[in-house]
Amino acid sequence: MVNLTPNPDFKARSACVLGATGSVGTQTLDVLRELGIPAVMMTAGSNTELFADIVREFRPRIAAVASEEAARALTERLGSDSASEILWKRDEVLSAVRETEADVIFHSVAGLAGIPSALAAADSGKRVAMANKEAVIACGDLLFEKLARSGGELIPVDSEHSALYRCLEGRSMDDVQSLLLTASGGPFHGRTAEELSRVTPEDALRHPTWKMGVKITVDSATLMNKGFEIIEAVRLFGVPEDRVDVVVHRQSIVHSLVRFEDGVMLAALGNPDMRDCIRYAATAPHAARTKEKPLELTEIGSLTFEKPDLESFPLLGAARQAIRTGGTAPAGLIAADEEAVAAFLAGRAGFTELSSLVMETLSKITIYYDTSEESAAQTAREAALICRGLVERKQRV
């Protein structure tokens, strides 16, 4: 589990940003600009146009991309206006992460693809500001074993887990009765299963409060993201699944709560802005002064809480089943959901079919209980193939 006592002497003099062109990655760059932290290493996927602009601005020593083709494109875009070493080979990139001189590694590579770099970051012995929930969910034990060996520390960046971390910091988990994650409810709160069957991808991408990437926005609409966060909380804070609850909080102001053994609750409140979580990961246990407008309770009016609709949004239950099953089941859950969401966005599956595709896939996968990067990857590959086959079969009917 995560260390609840961050290094009091930590100071981020330089950073490594993994996934610099994504939604969380670009918000991380905002924080680096604000705090005046230089980047010595950055990675991106294939968006070389945006990445070239970022590299020109931050001038990292190492700029890494996902393929040889992307490396050529980046080199051409930068021309002579770059002193950065451009890497693309997987082993070289992972080695650079392990050996980075940066004080903090911001990990915002999305999905299962982010697991290898997350484990490399854990090997580095540095602070890891972790926004990739998949690595924690699928390989949490391995991740924390590596951190313990290297002397590194992990600070969660996911808004709910950042909030829990701040509520729990310096405290004993023996005093905790339960953790409560808040959910906005997404764009379809209160809709029936029949109404949800008519939802389009465009509808699902209109999140009411948060600005996020496409995949996570759909997961928020199905509440799958909140299911992932249940598993993430179990991994990060070492509590049983039945002591992690979810409440729908439409205002997205209370990000999470902790209920202590005496019944008293502690909540973390803030504006719905990922940069707050990113900033704290860079400065914990200290809070950096910011020019952003602070939260004003009198402008909010009221805060409401209600139970989630588990019948219309069954993927919350699927996540609980996956963590109860254990082993590589959570890795299979992630892969099945990735395939199902891709099918939905491509118009090959309906919104309500997402949950049935994921749950049917989970019932068919092979689960390994010697959890490792390899076994998690094996279950994930199998789940992706099974889910893809289910989609194809549905289209033929």
Measured CA to CA, the distance from residue 133 to residue 232 in angstroms comes to 7
Pairing of strands 39-43, 62-64: parallel
Measured CA to CA, the distance from residue 65 to residue 74 in angstroms comes to 8
Question: What mean pLDDT is reported for the chain?
Answer: 92
pLDDT band for position 206 (cuts 50, 70, 90): confident
Measured CA to CA, the distance from residue 237 to residue 220 in angstroms comes to 22
Measured CA to CA, the distance from residue 74 to residue 52 in angstroms comes to 6
pLDDT of residue 234 exceeding 80: yes
Residue, of 317 and 201, whose pLDDT is higher: 317
pLDDT band for position 72 (cuts 50, 70, 90): very high
Measured CA to CA, the distance from residue 120 to residue 176 in angstroms comes to 32
Give the tens place of pLDDT for each residue, 345-374. 999 999 889 999 999 999 999 999 988 899
Measured CA to CA, the distance from residue 342 to residue 21 in angstroms comes to 20
Strand partners, 128: 105, 154
Measured CA to CA, the distance from residue 152 to residue 167 in angstroms comes to 21
**Phi, psi dihedrals of residue 274, rounded to the nearest 5°:** -60, -25
For the chain, first and last CA: distance in Å? 46
Residue 203: predicted pLDDT: 81
Per-residue burial over 342-361, b if 16 or more Cβ lie within 10 Å, else e, is bbbeeeebbbbbbbebbbeb
Give the global pTM.
0.92
Q: Do 341 and 218 touch, CB atoms closer than 8 A? A: yes
Residue 111: predicted pLDDT: 86
Ordered structural domains, the chain, with CATH: 15-157 (3.40.50.720), 158-311 (no CATH), 326-397 (1.10.1740.10)
pLDDT of residue 210 exceeding 60: no
Measured CA to CA, the distance from residue 109 to residue 208 in angstroms comes to 24
Give the tens place of pLDDT for each residue, 184-197. 887 777 787 778 87
Amino acid at site 108: S
Give the tens place of pLDDT for each residue, 260-275. 999 999 999 999 899 9
Residue 207: predicted pLDDT: 62
Mean pLDDT along residues 68-74: 94
Residue 204: predicted pLDDT: 80
Measured CA to CA, the distance from residue 315 to residue 311 in angstroms comes to 9
Mean pLDDT along residues 242-267: 95
> What is the residue-wise DSSP string for 291-354?
-SPPP-HHHH-----B---TTT-THHHHHHHHHHH-TTHHHHHHHHHHHHHHHHHTTSS-TTHH
Give the tens place of pLDDT for each residue, 290-309. 888 888 988 988 999 999 98
Residue 209: predicted pLDDT: 60
Q: Do 130 and 137 touch, CB atoms closer than 8 A? A: no
Measured CA to CA, the distance from residue 86 to residue 81 in angstroms comes to 13
Q: Which of 175, 179, 12 is nearest to 101 (CA)?
A: 12
**68: enclosing H helix or E strand:** helix 68-78
Q: Do 330 and 141 touch, CB atoms closer than 8 A? A: no
Residue 221: predicted pLDDT: 87
Rg of the Cα trace of the chain? 20
